[in-house]
Amino acid sequence: MAIYPIVRLGKRMRKVTANTQEETGLFTAILDQSFQGIRVVKAYGMEAYEGTRVSSLVERIFKLNIKSARIRALSSPIMETLGGIAVAIVIVYGGFRVIHQNLDPGSFFSFITALLLAYEPMKRLANLNASLQEGLAGAQRMFDLLDMQSGIQERPGAKALGVPVRGNIQLSDVGFSYVTGQPALRGVSMSIPSGKTVALVGPSGAGKSTILNLIPRFYDIDAGTITIDGTDVRDVTLESLYANISLVSQEVMLFDDTVRANIAYGRPGASEADIEDAAQHAAALDFIRELPLGFDTMVGERGIKLSGGQRQRLAIARAILKNAPILLLDEATSSLDTESERHVQQALDHLMKGRTTLVIAHRLSTIVGADVIYVIQNGGIVEMGSHAELVAKSGAYEKLYALQFAAEADAMIRVENS
């Protein structure tokens, strides 16, 4: 009789706990998001909206907690009642046998005592099961996470890239889709020769960042091949692949650590002189020296205590210090003021020197300076060539140039003239 309710309550407890954990996870995620985006929340007057979102979630978690408390509280009276019934039955039956069938009262009472002694542990067993199920629900979620396989697996027998890495990158007929049935890239073939700078231009959503993300194998392609120095990236150990690539992404990622640690991120244990050298070449040394604690200044979460241009220069310093032969650069679209722009440009020029560079270019100077330009549209290459060749063609590039860069070119000419 006791087993059935214990099992039932245990099952319910497990379900409630799993739900509670899921909702609590959601709760933390929402809080994290709204604190990260607190300026947007305030500027758009969405405090009340965020408040309602959170309170409805809190309400649900509250209800789930009540439910679990109720289940826990239920087990005690159920066991109490069952225990009472059992004792009553024993007394009636035992008493009957003592009176009418000459059962020895001594053994009868010792039996009752034994029964009462067993009663407490039985009750605890019911409670224990509730706790056990709670723990198991947590363990289940934990193991699901631990058992998750990365989509990118190193092939057995994968080799490191041959030293020295020259950085000849070749894409042949590459096809890729994030969502099956919606290709983000089709038939992309390009070559990025060792030591050269190749620029990708094209409208927003064309697939430029996608191409960039395929080279360090953040995703595996669906068709075609990508090779570095003739070796398919899928046959290279991930460690060696990452070690030879520097990535400066569109959105700079700084960690809430010191300026020094952020620059040395790709090379822990770099010497003080090397770090300063990298900062110098990234045109960052002057502003770092002016910070209250210099290289020991904490940059704040995501580098919040620095300006946009300063963050970019730290990211560039990080890439300079890593000194990998291949550079993947997604230029930030955010327009900086002319002074920071000049600094960042200087830093980039230094960074690209002598490296195989694939750059998603938003600055005219980067595009004009590239050895080859590929124009990407709708996940495919529509044109390629040098700036002069492409302008002469009066095709897609010419149009894009007129739209995006003509104003910038005018400004440059005006500055040069004045």
Ligand X SMILES: Nc1ncnc2c1ncn2[C@@H]1O[C@H](COP(=O)(O)OP(=O)(O)OP(=O)(O)O)[C@@H](O)[C@H]1O
> Which positions lie near ligand X, rule CB under 6 A?
178-179, 184, 202, 204-210
The least CB distance from residue 32 to ligand X, in Å, is 20
Cβ-count burial of 341 within 10 angstroms (0-12 exposed, 13-18 middle, 19+ buried)?
A: middle
| Residue with Cβ nearer Mg ion (279 or 327) | 327
With CB under 5 to 8 Å by kind, the binding choice for 205 among ligand X, Mg ion, none is ligand X
In terms of residues, how long is the chain?
Answer: 418
The least CB distance from residue 197 to ligand X, in Å, is 18
Question: Crossing angle for the helix pair 47-101 and 105-146, nearest 10 degrees?
Answer: 160
| Residue with Cβ nearer ligand X (14 or 208) | 208
Tell me if 202 sits within 8 A of 209, measured CB to CB.
Answer: no
Residues facing residue 232 across a β-bridge: 227
Which residues ranging from 208 to 267 are in contact with Mg ion (CB under 5 A)? Answer: 209
With CB under 5 to 8 Å by kind, the binding choice for 10 among Mg ion, ligand X, none is none
Helical residues (DSSP H) of 38-104, grouped into ranges? 38-43, 47-101
Run of H or E including 115: helix 105-146
Tell me if 314 sits within 8 A of 282, measured CB to CB.
Answer: yes
The least CB distance from residue 209 to Mg ion, in Å, is 3
The least CB distance from residue 399 to ligand X, in Å, is 16
With CB under 5 to 8 Å by kind, the binding choice for 43 among ligand X, Mg ion, none is none
| Residue with Cβ nearer ligand X (245 or 317) | 245
The least CB distance from residue 367 to ligand X, in Å, is 14
Cβ-count burial of 337 within 10 angstroms (0-12 exposed, 13-18 middle, 19+ buried)?
A: exposed
Which one, of 360, 313, 30, lies nearest residue 208 by Cα?
360
The b-or-e profile of 215-248 (16+ CB within 10 A means b, else e) is bbbeeebeebebbbbebebbebeeebbebbbbbb
The least CB distance from residue 355 to ligand X, in Å, is 21
With CB under 5 to 8 Å by kind, the binding choice for 283 among Mg ion, ligand X, none is none
Measure Cα distances from 148 to 55, 141, 152, 329 in Å: 32, 11, 12, 30
With CB under 5 to 8 Å by kind, the binding choice for 210 among Mg ion, ligand X, none is ligand X
Question: Crossing angle for the helix pair 47-101 and 3-36, nearest 10 degrees?
Answer: 170
Q: How many CA atoms lie within 13 A of 221 on its CB side?
A: 26
Closest residue to Mg ion using C-beta atoms:
209
With CB under 5 to 8 Å by kind, the binding choice for 172 among ligand X, Mg ion, none is none
With CB under 5 to 8 Å by kind, the binding choice for 206 among ligand X, Mg ion, none is ligand X
| Residue with Cβ nearer ligand X (263 or 390) | 390
Stretch that binds Mg ion, among 91-99, 203-211, 317-325, 344-352 (CB under 5 A): 203-211
Give the whole-angstrom CA distance, residue 254 versus residue 245.
18
Measure Cα distances from 55 to 24, 52, 63, 94, 195 in Å: 12, 5, 12, 58, 56
The least CB distance from residue 376 to Mg ion, in Å, is 10
Phi then psi for residue 166, to 5 deg, are -90, -30
Size of the site for Mg ion (CB under 5 A): 1
| Residue with Cβ nearer ligand X (132 or 253) | 253
Site mask for Mg ion (CB under 5 A), range 60-89, x = bound: ------------------------------
The least CB distance from residue 184 to ligand X, in Å, is 4
| Residue with Cβ nearer Mg ion (82 or 360) | 360
The least CB distance from residue 252 to ligand X, in Å, is 15
| Residue with Cβ nearer Mg ion (285 or 359) | 359
| Residue with Cβ nearer ligand X (71 or 188) | 188
Instruction: Taking the CA atoms of 359, 364, 370 and 373 in sequence, report the sign of the dihedral they define.
Output: positive
| Residue with Cβ nearer ligand X (83 or 216) | 216
With CB under 5 to 8 Å by kind, the binding choice for 418 among Mg ion, ligand X, none is none
Extract the tokens encoding 266.
Answer: 């790709």
Run of H or E including 186: strand 185-192
The least CB distance from residue 174 to Mg ion, in Å, is 17
| Residue with Cβ nearer Mg ion (343 or 362) | 362
> Where along the sequence are the contacts to Mg ion (CB under 5 A)?
209
